[in-house]
């Protein structure tokens, strides 16, 4: 197994980790109920995706 010859300096380690940032999640309006939903995902509010009902939201709530 290859092993690094030297420890990486703290400066270098921190420089690498400084570029690791959380991304903001994109949101689009649902064409069925106009609620905000994640793109390419079934709408949580109405259960529709691509004009078709995939999950029964009302049954889950009851």
Name the residues that contact Zn ion, by CB under 5 A: 30, 32-33, 43, 45-46
13/57 Cα distance (integer angstroms): 47
Closer CB to Zn ion, residue 5 or residue 41? Answer: 41
- Residue nearer to Zn ion on the CB measure, 16 or 45: 45
CB of 18 to Zn ion, least distance (A): 39
CB of 23 to Zn ion, least distance (A): 24
Strand 36-37 to 48-49 pairing: unpaired
From CA 33, how far away is CA 46, in angstroms rounded? Answer: 7
């Amino acid at each position: 197994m290859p092993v690094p010859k030297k420890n990486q300096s703290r400066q270098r380690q921190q420089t690498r980790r400084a570029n690791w940032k959380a991304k903001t999640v994109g949101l689009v309006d649902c064409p069925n109920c106009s609620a905000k939903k994640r793109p390419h995902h079934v709408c949580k509010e109405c259960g529709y995706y691509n004009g078709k009902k995939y999950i029964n939201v009302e049954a889950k709530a009851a």
